[in-house]
Amino acid sequence: MSELPDIQRFRLSLSQLQDYRFEVRFNDTSAASLVTDEPPPLGEGVGPNPSRLLAAAVANCLAASLLFATRKFHDDPGMLDAQVEVELSRNEQRRWRITHIDVHLAMEQEASQMAHLQKALAQFEDFCVVTQSVRQGIAIDVHVNDAKGAVLR
């Protein structure tokens, strides 16, 4: 049995379309590109902003992890829905920060119809790459270059 690699990488690309609107391309996939934008007054709100994308990523990952965990024990939760509420507040420097993400997952199937549901519930969050990464913090390196390639930061 071959082992999975300890490190995996993927890339995506962003290009500014105008003002705060960007096109996000998911390199090396067949996924359609996505347009993001800030809500008014900065942008026009023609796409989700990064805070909404983060909330969607957390909820999507949790729903997929719950599906994986229940299926692992040969249970079927039916179709899943997620509702997400995000709280933003200003920090000491008066900058907006996401301070809380509240995710509600709803299964189509009744709990009594799933023999191993408690086992799945005990471990599904641990399968969620995004939620667990956000919870413990992620190292982010930032590099800034000008048009000539000079490193500015």
Rounded mean pLDDT, 27-51: 96
Residue 1 pLDDT level (bands cut at 50, 70, 90)? low
Residue environment code for 14-23, b if the CB has 16+ CB neighbours within 10 A, otherwise e: eeeeeebbbe
pLDDT at residue 4 above 80? no
Predicted structure pTM score: 0.90
Rounded mean pLDDT, 36-50: 97
Rounded mean pLDDT, 145-150: 88
Burial of 109 (0-12, 13-18, 19+ CB in 10 A): middle
Q: What percentage of the chain has pLDDT greater than the value 90?
A: 84
Residue 2 pLDDT level (bands cut at 50, 70, 90)? low
CB distance 54 to 135 below 8 Å: no
pLDDT of residue 140: 81
**Can you read off the two tokens belonging to residue 82?**
């997620």
pLDDT at residue 23 above 90? yes
pLDDT in tens, 65-78: 999 999 999 999 99
Rounded mean pLDDT, 107-118: 95
Q: Return the half-sphere exposure (C-beta side, CA atoms, 13 A cut-off) of residue 21.
A: 11
Rounded mean pLDDT, 23-52: 96
